[in-house]
């Protein structure tokens, strides 16, 4: 069912430092920071030939990233995002398999302007999974 790996998101306590690591030490192409107030994050996109890395930093008071950074002060992998062709069909299949869909179960428009859902980490090997209708 899942298709391409769309991105891996890494929560970071210092966005400039993280961007510098990817730009300088790893030699990657790194975007300018982009504020996404609707999602409570500022994002730096790292473009790789086969996928993206998203460096996430909390923005605003109710950022979903803040609790993660409180538990992981030096940062860490926050979620992986897989593409699906049909997000509602994917959701229904996952629910039938017993997976927990976070929130109210209805897709939201994600940071790329496409519908997304998040799946409970306990159902996916300890990893928060995002699915995006590509």
Residues of the shown chain interacting with Co ion in the complex, contacts defined by CB under 5 A: 9, 81, 130
Contact partners, residue 62, CB within 8 Å, separation at least 6: 40
Q: How far is the CB of 130 from Co ion (least distance, A)?
A: 5
d(CA 83, CA 131): 6
Q: How far is the CB of 81 from Co ion (least distance, A)?
A: 4
Asked whether 5 and 48 are in contact (CB, 8 A), the reply is no
Helix (H) or strand (E) holding 30: strand 29-30
Q: Which is nearer to Co ion, 25 or 87 (CB)?
A: 87
* Residue of 36, 47, 97, 130 with catalytic role: 130
d(CA 126, CA 122): 5
Q: Tell me if residue 130 is catalytic.
A: yes
Q: Which is nearer to Co ion, 24 or 109 (CB)?
A: 109
Q: How far is the CB of 104 from Co ion (least distance, A)?
A: 18
Instruction: List, by residue number, the catalytic residues.
Output: 130
């Amino acid at each position: 069912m899942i298709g391409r790996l769309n991105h891996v998101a890494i929560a970071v306590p210092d966005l400039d430092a993280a961007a510098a690591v990817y730009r300088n030490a790893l030699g990657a192409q790194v975007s300018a920071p982009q504020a996404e107030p609707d999602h409570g994050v500022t994002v730096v996109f790292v473009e790789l030939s086969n996928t993206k890395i998203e460096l996430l930093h909390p923005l605003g008071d109710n950022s979903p990233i803040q609790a993660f950074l409180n538990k992981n002060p030096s940062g860490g992998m926050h979620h992986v995002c897989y593409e699906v062709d049909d997000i509602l069909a994917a959701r229904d299949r996952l629910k039938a398999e017993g997976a927990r869909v976070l929130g109210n179960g209805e897709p939201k428009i994600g940071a790329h302007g496409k519908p997304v859902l998040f799946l409970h980490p306990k159902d996916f090997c300890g990893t928060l999974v995002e699915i995006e209708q590509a």
